A and B are shown apart, each in its own frame.
Chain A
Amino acid sequence: MIQHIDVHAVLQESVSGIYTDLVTRPTGRVVRECIERAMATSAGDGAVARIDFTRVGCIDYSCADEIVAKLLRSRPGVLVLTGISDGHREAIEPVLAGHRLAVLIERPDGTLEAVGGPDAAAALLEELVVRRLAVRAPGGTFTLT
């Protein structure tokens, strides 16, 4: 089973019902801790969690680090980011590359892309296929199984 986490809802419930932007370290920390708690109550290690950024406005580098990078470092399971805009990606990608980490982004058509450090991204896709969590389509794209 794939767990679905709505980041906008987490932000509104945990930090502010007004703001839609993921900015500042304290905000990122609170949102990450909420996500971690939600994930802890779900399936065990190795599970897939779909983290949905739809309706999230701006995400800054501090929040990208505090949420995405730290979740990747602390969580042994597989994270799939959805609802990612070009602006979100602009913050997330360099932060992960700096850590030599990678995360999966699920495009609207369901195909997967690994972004972050190039080596980590390639290894992540490889691992997903080996674990049968994703399959390689004829066109070279990847989708979740």
Chain B
Amino acid sequence: MTRLVEVPSQFDDRSFDQFASAFAEATKDGERLLFDAHAAEWASPYGLVGLLAAGQAARGAGGGSGGGGGGGGSAERPLLTAPTHADVLTYWTRAGFFREAADLFEIHGKVPRVKAADGSDVLLPVTPVRAAEDVHTVVSNIQQRASAILASELGLDPKATMGFAMALSEACQNIVEHAGTGGWVAVQAYHWRRKLAKRVVVIAVADAGVGFRHSLEPTQSKRFGARWGDAAALEAALIQGVSRFRDPGRGQGLAGIRRYLARWDGKIAIRSGTARIAIVPKWDDDVPLKDGLPAFPGAQVLIIIPEQGSTKP
């Protein structure tokens, strides 16, 4: 039997919990999964890398381009029905989604032959991150393209480009150092009409690895006692700069990202397990910490840097 997981028609961080709920329900009995994206109208980079993470988890330890999965599901490849809308299909292809999805899913639907990142809005197509070398490639590829976008379209000081590359590097390293599996990153610039009516640059990073709670449990669970869980682990990592390593220099990455975002009025949100934490700028109405969400493996990171100037909601 095949279990259906519906991909939201507008698939982004806001609809991700709906997706995670369907995923959690469908994976209960270990049956093969069918991810149904035929009605998808739009997906953010967060949605795309999140969908790959779900495919990775559903495939279990069978492999795939993201490395071994963390979900423990069926080794048989899950099914994916591609979006039927031509523009959506083209965009997903251009964003590099299908290049990565081909190894994880049995894809149903006609995928157009469009080169990934063939457009100015895709700063970095969906890119696998498995090892330190992949982070080098990501940082090297992003700098030239991001420099133009950050300075000319977002009004950031040209000096901010290096900080952006640093933030991206640290977000990707989280996968390499803590996930226990591979993951994906995507960077895109777009006009965010719904929230800001401004241009934004978005970094999305996702994996289906062990997640923050599991990573920090050996060193942190006693300190938190009964409070220990996904929310406490995220709080420890993002707010307190705690790392699973005892080396005193560890934990710099997320702290550095926070500093960068504070300077440019940006936002970070991290979802792991059943919790989600966010550093919420004034222009956003997100909730700082949510617990009791539908369980989803690994960690999913969202970073948003808005066009500079007034960012009133």
Contacts and interface: CB of A to CB of B under 8 A. Distances in A.
Interface in A38-91: 57-62, 64-66, 69-70, 85-88, 90-91
19 contacts: A16-B133, A20-B140, A21-B139, A23-B139, A23-B166, A24-B132, A25-B132, A25-B177, A57-B139, A60-B165, A60-B169, A61-B166, A61-B253, A61-B256, A62-B169, A69-B249, A70-B249, A90-B162, A91-B256
Interface residues of A, number: 31
A69 B247 CA distance: 12
Interface string B216-257: 000000000000000000000000000000001110110110
Interface residues of B, number: 26
Nearest to A66: B249
A26 interface: yes
Interface of B: 132-133, 135-136, 139-140, 143, 159, 161-163, 165-166, 169-170, 173, 176-177, 248-250, 252-253, 255-256, 259
Interface stretch (A93-101, A120-128, A133-141): A93-101
Contacts of B252: 61-62, 64-65, 95, 98
Given A19-B140, A60-B169, A86 B159 contact: yes
B141 to A, nearest CB: 11
Contacts of B161: 87
A58 B139 contact: yes
* A16, A21, A60, A62 pick with most chain B CB within 10 angstroms: A60
Contacts of B159: 86-87, 90
A58 B177 contact: no
